[in-house]
Structure 1
């Protein structure tokens, strides 16, 4: 089942159209908080059908309570960066206020000089996961969607703090649709592709992850309880702007495609008359 939150309401994608559901839930996040899964939406009556090109997707989950991410989780990315494979996931927590709706324009702050894209598979938690085994992970996942885990590379380099480099308003585009795990052709090899201005720059599958999805969420759940509606970003493959020393510019369009869900499009705006300002933060002293 593929589900979308739109201006018209919550619905399923069926036979190439949007089926608006007869439900009082405003978004998927509200369903998960109450139900722990999306199964109740499978049997909802359809109020009417709308062509896909006439819908306007909105915030898929409302505002997630938590957005977790992991650095250097693809073999291709580690190889491109010339870095060794980490023994433990490099985890971080980003501000949920940075989540933006699909199709939104992201305005780059004047202080950021190296804004970058990161196409990723986003996992949405359905049921609480705490001290979970790997076998318990997929049954607790509500679904997958596309994410663009944008990063200010200069801020990351200057501060060494992922949360600061990734939490600017709009820096976590998410959506527009969510696909339930039972509907995935191969959970172990979910493809993620990223295009910038129509040029394919990232193309890999979750089979190339250093810490596969069940392993990653299981490890994370031993440090923090993952709650319904939480999002876990699973890392980005090679091909980012950092890899090419080419960062996002005004007017760029980033398109992230993840198997089974609608493509996520982000448009970049950078005021030409905005002069960079001091971050007022420096790297920590060891």
Structure 2
């Protein structure tokens, strides 16, 4: 039996993650509060007066700034307040929609960023649209058995948080999720249409507890499995509630 074993949201793109116990998904939308905000830099092409989704290269990312992987988040939905924490910085509580708070955040997070790379200068958001890497509003689905397969190749413990997935599933064979492309999966009353595999970047090499690159995840994927993919992107076609332990059915 396939079941939901973990649920995660990432309120600020590439800046922390938060485990949750349940979520209500809506058709054609990302997971609520997932990638709601993204951190801009001086080469960002984003029109705050006419906000629309833009590609991930327009934002601060862990692939160029590995220490960002060490961030954890806690969101207060009612006040739209986030507390970020990092082993090197302590914690910061702020509101991403407040200009003064954004400046406090930039001052706090900049020490994690190499001086010769892009540096943070603001926070962007798009109404009713999470800033996913995919051009469509996606939910990322991960397989614990595929994670175990990569871990075995590396012969070292590997945290699932490295993959930044929304929904984790247990009870599958490794890589079985790749056979779901163009198929539907039902989780309770919710239905998701699987669109594509997720090609991975160097963000996955960084330890989520400190942001140090300590695992050759891409080398393991390419060398042992012949691809650079982990997880799948799906689109919500029928909304509903998803909770830990829910049964999953491939339609």
Task: Give me the TM-score of the superposition, normalised by structure 2.
Answer: 0.23
- If asked which structure has higher relative contact order (CA below 8 Å, sep 6+), I would say 2
Structure having the higher Rg: 1
